[in-house]
Copies of this chain bind each other. A is one copy, B any other.
């Protein structure tokens, strides 16, 4: 039995190292593929510019994983005012060697009754913590609401910005330093109360601009990735603590913080939304637009048909795979 566990741990370590190799290979592939696709996305941007409401319609047809975060009041804003979305993998677009998972989502808006901003840019960076957590981090982006009763987040975004501005004054981010709830200042207490009062389901999509994610600085991430590589090289050379011991060590480091590091996050699924937009809405926008239009040119011919017949027609259509 002891033997079995040994084998399985060694194999497990090998598998985890392989997962890292796959991740590196896939990042390198992404790094090459983004500049290749860029001219096509630019062509698409020109084609889309001729179509009024393109992005509003795409957002309306958003996949369920994204749509769940759009409240009816958000829909009204997006449908009437969203004029453009663009996604930029800013670190690799021009052949750069950075992380292709770093993205900026730019949303443009027409004059509207809710806020002054014509452009909102939300940037995300992929970072790794000392404790080996990895994910997208971001900085809150302020929205200039035209009046308090036009604020779709009901003050939550403004408070999140205030808390963040104050955090910045305390020094750089550190994933191991999580403030205990009993040490919250007045703004933090107010924010916590607002988050609890709003409840998970009722948060506006626009609170997404307040997402922060893991509290990891660029420096912490760089060191964590370096340590990872060093540990692995030593492990492969046979003279280093194995993965289990390394992780135990990290566990010990972490033992102090029994606080929820996301206690003051106003949009906890902000990273998921970024990934949904980047990996689904953006690349598949034409597909969602076509769905929204329900334009099927082959049907235009048959407009006189009654509804029953059209339904039969649909049922008989051979499936196609999403290639």
A residues apposed to B, CB below 8 Å: 7-9, 11-12, 14-15, 18-19, 21-23, 25-26, 28-29, 32-33, 36-37, 40, 43-44, 47-48, 50-51, 101, 126, 129, 131, 133-136, 175, 214, 243-244, 247-248, 250-251, 258, 260-262, 268, 271-272, 275, 283, 286-287, 289-290, 295, 297-298, 300-301, 315-323
**B323 and A101: CB pair below 8 A?**
yes
Q: Is the CB of A272 within 8 A of B321?
A: yes
Within the complex, the shortest CB–CB distance from A151 to chain B, in Å, comes to 27
A297-B243 CB under 8 A given contacts A134-B323, A286-B15, A321-B136? yes
> Given A40-B18, A243-B297, A298-B248, do A275 and B135 touch, yes or no (CB 8 Å)?
no
* Residue in B9, B47, B323 whose beta carbon sits within 8 Å of that of A297 in the complex: B9
Cα–Cα, bound, A274→B175 (Å): 41
Q: Judging by beta carbons under 8 Å apart, are A321 and B9 in contact?
A: no
| Sample (14) of A-B pairs whose CB atoms are under 8 Å apart | A15-B286, A18-B44, A18-B47, A18-B286, A22-B40, A25-B40, A29-B37, A129-B318, A133-B317, A133-B318, A135-B321, A243-B297, A261-B318, A275-B321
Q: Would you call the interface of chain A mostly helix, strand, loop, or mixed?
A: helix
Q: Is the CB of B133 within 8 A of A7?
A: no
CA distance in complex: A19, B47 (Å): 12
Residues of the B chain whose Cβ atoms lie less than 8 Å from the Cβ of A14? 47
Please give the count of copies of this chain that the complex contains.
Answer: 2
Which residues of B lie under 8 Å from residue A300 when comparing CB positions? 244
Residue in contact with A12 in the complex, picked from B8, B243, B295, B318, CB distance below 8 Å: B295
A271 CA to B29 CA in the complex, in Å?
Answer: 26
